[in-house]
């Protein structure tokens, strides 16, 4: 007799369904090292990394976690060798094209944060098409950070706010945290409850600096292509042991 398939997809019994994070941010790090450990070119790790991301997204649906935001390319990643940058840009475009139907079928809403104007036009139009085609989906809210950097995001918000003041549409006294956050790429997302970074690095690398003021952080030495359901389960167990105080007692 085979076990009912629901057993494979159910939330593990040692996790409390009532205190899961609502929004998880991930820094998908370690693709290059994963490949190098196998004497393979770094880009092989990026390919495998896509598979890990797809599996994680499915897990969010199965376990009822509403939002995932994944760091795919930072504003600093342009400094990598041209072949790797080109490979990544082509990979993003291909994956988007290949996976759009599945995203629609799975009721995923995909969005992007970062400066899209610097991406190649074909990728920009793939991104616009995917956002439009999934705009009304109610399932997992999946955000991909491409050409994203927190400092760029914050400076851009300042510039936009300054312009509104200059045009006489905004009084400086009205600028508060809420208004500022409305000018960030993430204006329609809640702040993350949990950050996961793989590969053993313990830094934020210019990711969601404003948004993560009170985010719980989880670091694991697992390389991103190996980050599977069991690894995510461990991260959630760690999250559920925390006592979030937000400055209170
Ligand atoms: C993360 O993996 C993916 C991107 C930054 C695009 P890396 O490519 O940074 O892999 P490592 O850190 O060099 O192993
Ligand atoms: C952060 O990883 C960016 C992404 C995962 C897209 P990096 O590998 O670029 O970060 P650093 O350079 O180690 O800080
Ligand atoms: Mg890295």
Section 179-194 average pLDDT:
98
List the residue whose alpha carbon is closest to atom 1 of ligand 1.
29
Higher pLDDT, 8 or 233: 233
pLDDT value for 106: 98
Query: So where are the chain's domains?
Result: 20-151+190-240
Cross-strand bridge partners of residue 69: 25, 143
Q: 159 C-alpha vs ligand 3 centroid, how far in Å?
A: 30
Q: What is the mean pLDDT of residues 143-164?
A: 98
Query: How does residue 9 score in pLDDT terms, banded at 50, 70 and 90?
Result: confident
Tell me how far the alpha carbon of residue 45 lies from the centroid of ligand 2, in angstroms. 14
> What is the percent of the chain where pLDDT is above 90?
96
Q: What value does the mean pLDDT take over residues 134-140?
A: 98
Q: Which fold has domain 20-151+190-240?
A: Undecaprenyl pyrophosphate synthetase (3.40.1180)
pLDDT digits (tens, 9 = 90+) for 87-108: 999 999 999 999 999 999 999 9
Whether ligand 1 lies within 6 angstroms of the CB of 28 is answered as: yes
pTM as predicted: 0.96
pLDDT value, residue 208:
99
Q: Which residues pair with 73 in a beta bridge?
A: 146
pLDDT exceeds cutoff 80 at 5: no
Averaged pLDDT of the chain? 97
Q: Quick check: 157 and 180 in contact, CB under 8 A?
A: yes
In sequence order, which residues have a C-beta less than 8 Å from that of residue 164 and are 6 or more positions away? 170
Long-range Cβ contact pairs of 214-220 (< 8 A, separation 24 or more): 214/244, 214/246, 215/25, 215/191, 216/21, 216/242, 216/244, 218/194, 220/196
Average pLDDT of the residues in 117-124: 98
- Name the residue among 145, 67, 70 with its Cα closest to residue 109: 67
Look at residue 3 and tell me whether its pLDDT is greater than 60: no
Among residues 62, 77, 191, 228, the one annotated as catalytic is: 77
């Amino acid at each position: 007799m085979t076990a009912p398939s629901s057993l494979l997809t159910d939330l593990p019994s040692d996790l409390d369904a009532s205190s899961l994070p609502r929004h998880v941010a991930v820094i998908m790090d370690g693709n290059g090292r994963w490949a190098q450990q196998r004497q393979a070119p770094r880009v092989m790790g990026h390919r495998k990394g896509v598979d890990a991301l797809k599996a994680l997204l499915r897990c969010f649906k199965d376990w009822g976690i509403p939002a995932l935001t994944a760091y795919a390319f930072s504003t600093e990643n342009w400094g990598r060798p041209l072949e790797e940058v080109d490979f990544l840009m082509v990979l993003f475009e291909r994956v988007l094209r290949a996976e759009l139907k599945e995203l629609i079928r799975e009721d995923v809403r995909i969005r992007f944060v970062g400066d899209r104007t610097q991406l190649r036009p074909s990728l920009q139009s793939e991104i616009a098409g995917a956002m439009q085609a999934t705009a009304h989906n109610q399932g997992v809210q999946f955000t991909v950070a491409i050409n994203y950097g927190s400092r760029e995001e914050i400076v851009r918000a300042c510039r936009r706010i300054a312009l509104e003041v200059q045009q006489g549409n905004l009084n400086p006294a009205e600028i508060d945290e809420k208004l500022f956050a409305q000018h960030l790429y993430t204006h329609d997302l809640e702040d993350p409850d949990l950050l996961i970074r793989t590969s053993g690095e313990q830094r934020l690398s210019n990711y969601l600096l404003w948004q993560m003021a009170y985010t719980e952080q989880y670091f694991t030495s697992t390389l991103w292509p190996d980050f599977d359901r069991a690894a995510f389960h461990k991260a959630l167990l760690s999250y559920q042991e925390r006592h979030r105080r937000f400055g209170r007692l």
